[in-house]
Amino acid sequence: MIKKILAPERVRAIKADFASIEHRFLRDGFLASLTHFELLVYFFLVLVADRHGLSFYGFETLCSILGIEVDDYIEARNGLIEKDLIAFDGRLFQVLSLPDCPQPPVLLKTRQEMERSDPATIRQIFRQTFGEKP
């Protein structure tokens, strides 16, 4: 295939600080391995990170900008840490270089696994036990 620049007046110029995602993020299956919220948080952290991958956005600001609930943020953050894509020390994030391969998704099959790991099931149990939020 012969490639031709579609908008020559709009060719990206890479400057000192810019967001970048390796092509293998898509090619090697990292994109497919993430949940919707994990993708949202990951892309946000990539966009706001400095050249070392560091960002210090607080969860309140991050949730406000992304329009997500704290519970969804926590699950996404923890999922990204477990998948070895970010590091977090309680106040500072670092977007890490991609590991050799993405972690395969954990498949939930039994009711017990759903009650232990599925956010929707956990939320449903919580609401059934403690009632709806006001």
Q: Which domain holds residue 90?
A: 20-102
Q: What is the pLDDT of residue 110?
A: 84
Q: Is the pLDDT of residue 76 over 50?
A: yes
8 A C-beta contact, residue 55 and residue 93: yes
pTM recorded for the entire structure:
0.70
Domain count, the chain: 2
Q: pLDDT tens digits for 6-53?
A: 787 876 665 656 677 888 889 998 898 899 999 999 999 999 988 788
Could you give the angle at the alpha carbon of 30 between the alpha carbons of 24 and 36, nearest 5°? 135
94/62 same-domain check: yes
Q: How far apart are the first and last CA of the chain?
A: 58
Q: What CATH code is carried by the domain that includes residue 80?
A: 1.10.10.10
Q: Is the pLDDT of residue 81 over 70?
A: yes
Q: What is the pLDDT of residue 15?
A: 62
98/111 same-domain check: no
Mean pLDDT of the chain, nearest integer: 84
CA 22 to mean position of chain CA atoms: 15
94/113 same-domain check: no
Q: Beta partners for 55?
A: 93
Q: Is the pLDDT of residue 117 over 80?
A: no
Max CA separation in the chain (angstroms): 61
97/126 same-domain check: no
